[in-house]
Amino acid sequence: MAVIRPHDLLWGMTPAHLASDAPAWVACALADGQPVVVRRGRGGPGLVAVGVRGVSRDQRHAGCMPLAAVSRQVSPEQLSHSIGLRDWPALQALYRLRDRLDDFGLVWGVSGGAGFELASGFAALHAGSDLDLIMRTPEPLSRDAARRLLGMLEPAVDLQLQAPAGAVALREWAGPSRKVLLKAADGARLVDDPWGVAA
Q: What is the pLDDT of residues 128-162, one digit of tens each?
A: 899 999 999 999 999 999 999 999 999 999 999 99
Contact 108, 141 (CB under 8 A): no
Residue 25: phi, psi to the nearest 5? Answer: -65, -30
pLDDT of residue 170: 98
> Residue 199: pLDDT above 80?
no
pLDDT of residue 48: 96
- Tell me the C-alpha distance between 78 and 50, whole Å: 19
Q: Which residues contact 87 (CB under 8 A, 6 or more apart)?
A: none
pLDDT of residue 135: 98
Q: Is 132 a catalytic residue?
A: yes
pLDDT digits (tens, 9 = 90+) for 98-117: 999 999 999 999 999 999 99
The one catalytic residue in 58, 102, 132, 186 is 132
pLDDT of residue 41: 85
The one catalytic residue in 21, 58, 130, 186 is 130
